Amino acid sequence: MKNKRDTHVENGIIGTPIIECASNALRFRLKTERIFEGRIFVKGFAKAEGCFINGFGKFTETGIEIPFDSACRIDRERSANPRGIFITTTIVVSFHPLFITGIDRAFRVKCLYFAGEQKVQMKLGVHNLPPNLQRIERMPMPICRYELLDGGPFGPPIAFATVGQKIYHKWTCEPVTTDSSFCMIVHSCVVDSGLQEFIDILDRRGCALDSMLLTNLEYSTDLIAGQQTQVYKYADRDTLFFQCQISISAKSHNSICPRPDCINPSNKESEQKHPQQPPIIVNEQLNVRNPRKVDVYDFEVLDIVDVSSRLQAIENFE
């Protein structure tokens, strides 16, 4: 006589499952009435590695962590109001180790990562349970800076330099938490004399426009970019104001940060016209103006940071 597994399971969820929207993963925890012997998995990925967890019949508390770079189905949708990005997935709690039964529940979990405001809104929708679950938590975004360094990437910060001297432009975003999993792209960079004489040096995709001013950036890590160049100046102005934007995104499913696909910039002098709308600049010495539009890649932007730096250039003609 063949053994048959009993598909009648007497169990259920106590209270409301707990969700946590981390910087690089979504965490889902719950407590059951009896020892949990079933499975928790992302809908459609019941057997995919990293997308499910089995209950071993020992505990009444269990949960699953789903990294954003996993193979599970995690949908990303940009939101204009509020400004941010929704990260959504469906988690199934099955109380039987093999079959879907009538007491199982499917939870639609949604995390809203706010851009700029650095907080996360979490929503949880579930069949046969109240759908009005919502919580607000702080979401620490990386702290970004733009530095001009003497000579190379490890040189000291520099505020004064001679025309022709080698300096290094360095953009760094430092994550606040240890489990951070962010990407960055530097783009929309301009140089200005302080008299609204704006010249583009990086376009909206992050590509260099004039190799005499700046060549395409090199990304040494996910959150560090830089490039060496020589000091230049306007004919009748000694001060240069450099202004850029940095787009912050969560890592994609393959854990590889996207990078702009750039061609080598021209060696001839820049023939650009002044942009009609300079970007927002975080610099007390410059007026805040209307932001220019930023091209959006196939990655999902969580935040756009405005950074700036300043250099006093001195002529040294022989």
> Do residues 42 and 52 make contact, with C-beta atoms less than 8 angstroms apart?
yes
Q: What is the CATH number of the domain that holds 212?
A: 2.60.40
* CA-based nearest residue to 60, from 18, 11, 126, 20: 11
Domain limits for position 223: 143-314
How far apart CA 182 and CA 247 sit, in angstroms, is 10
In a domain, 3, yes or no: no
In a domain, 40, yes or no: yes
Same domain, residue pair 133 and 164: no
Please report the pLDDT score of residue 187 as a whole number. 93
* CA-based nearest residue to 37, from 76, 105, 94: 94
Burial label for 143, CB within 10 Å (0-12, 13-18, 19+), is exposed
DSSP category for residue 81: T
Tens digit of each residue's pLDDT, the chain (318 residues):
333 344 456 788 888 888 888 877 888 999 999 889 888 999 888 888 888 988 877 788 888 998 887 888 788 777 666 666 778 888 888 888 877 777 888 888 888 776 554 344 444 544 433 333 334 344 567 889 999 999 899 999 988 888 888 999 999 998 876 656 788 999 999 998 888 788 899 999 999 999 889 999 999 999 999 999 988 888 778 888 999 999 888 776 567 888 898 988 765 443 443 333 333 222 222 222 223 333 434 456 667 778 788 888 776 655
How far apart CA 139 and CA 120 sit, in angstroms, is 5
The model's pLDDT over 196-241, given as tens digits with 9 standing for 90+, comes to: 788 899 999 999 999 889 999 999 999 999 999 988 888 778 888 9
Same domain, residue pair 182 and 207: yes
How many beta carbons lie within 10 A of that of residue 154, not counting itself? Answer: 9
* CA-based nearest residue to 89, from 47, 27, 143, 146: 27
Same domain, residue pair 162 and 278: yes
Mean pLDDT taken over the chain: 75
- The domain tally of the chain equals 2
How far apart CA 62 and CA 55 sit, in angstroms, is 7
Q: Please tell me the pTM assigned to this model.
A: 0.55
Amino acid at 160: F
Domain finish residue from 109, 138, 167: 138
Same domain, residue pair 157 and 228: yes
Burial label for 17, CB within 10 Å (0-12, 13-18, 19+), is buried
